[in-house]
Structure 1
Amino acid sequence: MYRIRKEFHFSASHQLTHLPDDHQCARLHGHNYIVVVELASETLNADGFVRDYHDLKPLKVYIDDTFDHRHLNDVMDVPSTAENMAKHFYDWCKSRWPETSAVQVSETPKTWAEYRP
């Protein structure tokens, strides 16, 4: 299996209002997010790629236009946890690139969430 990954960055605020008031994530706060999309294929295309990295530019545009420097509570219909964001980006990518195999989202250098069916 061939796998490629590409990393995208954005900054945003959020608040997990469903958590108890004394939970640190219930307070308004922000993160410098990293989103990594992974694509996998058993074969390569005629150019020797799983997919050309340039083909992934629409994800950068989507992140920049919809998520960067936004309040995620205003953007997402579900709580803006890293887990929900990973699933959201996976679904978005999979609908465009069938080779999408996983998406990871990081809120801090030490924390990662992944959605992989």
Structure 2
Amino acid sequence: MYRIAKEFHFSASHQLSHLPPDHQCARLHGHNYVVVVELAAPALNADGFVRDYHELAALKRYIDDRFDHRHLNDVLDGPSTAEALARHFFDWSRARWPEVAAVRVSETPKTWAEYRP
């Protein structure tokens, strides 16, 4: 299996107000997010790629237009957790590129959430 990945970045705020008031994530706060989309294929296409990285620019535009410097509670339906973001970006990407195998989202350099069906 061939695998490729591309990394994207954005900054946004959110608040997990369903958590107890003394939980730090219940307060309004922000992150510098890192999104990694992974694509996989058993064979390469006619150009020798899993998928041309240039085609993934659509995901960068989507992230920049809808998520960058936004309040995620106003953007997403449901919780604005890293797990929910990973699933959201997976579904959006998979609808465009069938080779999408997983999406990881990081809120900090030491934490990751991944959605992989």
User: Are residues 1:12 and 2:12 paired?
Assistant: yes
Give the whole-Å Cα distance in 2 for the aligned partners of 1:60 and 1:72.
Answer: 17
User: Are residues 1:3 and 2:3 paired?
Assistant: yes
User: Are residues 1:74 and 2:74 paired?
Assistant: yes
SS in 2 for 1:84: helix
Give the whole-Å Cα distance in 2 for the aligned partners of 1:46 and 1:79.
Answer: 41
SS in 2 for 1:35: strand
Give the whole-Å Cα distance in 1 for the aligned partners of 2:102 and 2:83.
Answer: 12
Give the whole-Å Cα distance in 1 for the aligned partners of 2:96 and 2:17.
Answer: 32
SS in 1 for 2:73: helix
| Counterpart residue identity of residue 42, structure 1 | P
Where does the alignment leave 5 or more consecutive residues of structure 2 unmatched?
none
Give the whole-Å Cα distance in 1 for the aligned partners of 2:83 and 2:63.
Answer: 16
Match of 1:85? 85
Q: Structure 2 matches for 1:106-117, cutoff 5 A?
A: 106-117=106-117
Q: Give the Å deviation of 1:43.
A: 0.5
Q: Give the Å deviation of 1:78.
A: 1.0
Q: Deviations over 1:1-48 (max 9, x none)?
A: 000000000000000011000000000000000000000000000110
Q: Give the Å deviation of 1:92.
A: 0.2
Give the whole-Å Cα distance in 2 for the aligned partners of 1:51 and 1:35.
Answer: 18
Where does the alignment leave 5 or more consecutive residues of structure 1 unmatched?
none
Q: Which runs of structure 1 show a deviation greater than 6 angstroms over 4 or more consecutive aligned residues?
A: none
Q: Structure 2 matches for 1:97-112, cutoff 5 A?
A: 97-112=97-112
